[in-house]
Amino acid sequence: KMKAAEKLMKVFVTRRIPQEGMKLLSAAAECEVSMWDSDEPVPRAELLKGVQKANGLLCLLSDKIDAEVLDAAGPNLKIISTMSVGFDHLALQEIKKRGIRVGYTPDVLTDATAELTVALLLATARRLPEGVEEVKNGGWSSWKPLWLCGYGLSGSTVGVIGLGRIGLAIAKRLMPFGVQRLLYSGRSAKSEAAEVNGEYVPVDTLLSESDFIVVSCSLTPETQGLCNKAFFSKMKNTAVFINTSRGAVVNQEDLYDALSTGQIAAAGLDVTTPEPLPTDHPLLTLKNCVVLPHIGSATYSTRSVMSALSVRNLLCGLQGTEMPNELTL
């Protein structure tokens, strides 16, 4: 007979997660779950306390999981499951060293994030937030030939930096708008680029030839600060820059300069450093900069599926079985 008390696995969940995930977690009889039961991030001290003796940790991208957290957890920690596809918040070397497995949520958020990226690109290029504001503040006096003009996709060249799952999904959605050339850069050419007639080019070529530049790479030491002064100086003055990857890929001071001097036409960001971006940040004073609060994957169904997948990953990690989506360390 199983001695229930001995078998209980301690799990710490760093946030209130959608119902689908909660249901799966509650049904897992082998788990003793403690949760930071809030919609706000867990304070660091509570995280360090909460993980103590945990066998499993379910976290979000806003939780920095570093050596301090792993030490606080102690040697029982087997599995870290993050409800995100990005894993730049996880100290992977430290995690690997300790033999801890990692689960994440690729694919299930690809469509939602690609869709949001297209929405942000169109909103930025066609100046939707400015237009909405003018309607409300009385700036709309009449139809004027050059008022609120922007840039269209038809006949354009689009450059995607990081043609991964999301990058490809973005490209597929943009092509039907009449895009003429689809360029992409990254560490290697991709066979699936053929689906969008993608041309693998050096990043400098992508910068000088693209009318729209979309950043959808992962944040790594190599891509940190990739979009800096030198990067923006190679772009066309009429080009639109979109980032839905991670804020730290962009040097925001350099982006501010590029936008305010007319070096580039406009920028749309779903991700910033820090998050939230302080309301007095210089970027928010610019009309040609559209900033969204990191809502790439924010559809009800996507977040539900993400929560369920992250719980499944967690439970498999606890049981030592194959996970639906394990990150190779």
Site for ligand NDP in 44-103 (CB under 6 A): 85-86
Nearer to ligand NDP, 101 or 246 (CB): 246
Residue 188 engages ligand NDP in binding (rule: CB under 6 A): yes
329: Cβ–Cβ under 8 A, 6 or more apart, which residues? 92, 95, 96, 101, 102
Cα Rg for the chain, rounded, in angstroms?
Answer: 22
Residue 217 engages ligand NDP in binding (rule: CB under 6 A): yes
Distance CA 231, CA 233 (A): 5
Active site residue 281: no
Cβ 283 to ligand NDP, closest distance in Å? 17
Cα Dmax for the chain: 81
Site for ligand NDP in 219-248 (CB under 6 A): 219-220, 222-223, 244-246
Show the binding pattern over residues 94-133: x = contacts ligand NDP (CB under 6 A), - = does not. ------------x--x---x--------------------
Nearer to ligand NDP, 267 or 271 (CB): 271
> DSSP letter string over 44-79?
HHHHHHHTTT-SEEEE-TTS-B-HHHHHHH-TT--E
Distance CA 292, CA 277 (A): 10
Among 161, 269, 277, 305, binds ligand NDP (CB under 6 A): 161
Distance CA 14, CA 73 (A): 13
Question: Taking a C-beta distance cutoff of 8 angstroms, is the pair 286, 259 a contact?
Answer: yes
The residue nearest ligand NDP at its CB is: 164
The order of strands in the sheet holding 212-215 is: 198-200, 181-185, 157-161, 212-215, 240-243, 266-269, 289-291
Site for ligand NDP in 163-182 (CB under 6 A): 163-167
Site for ligand NDP in 268-327 (CB under 6 A): 270-271, 294, 296-297
Catalytic residues: 294
Binding site for ligand NDP (CB under 6 A): 85-86, 106, 109, 113, 161-167, 185-188, 216-220, 222-223, 244-246, 270-271, 294, 296-297
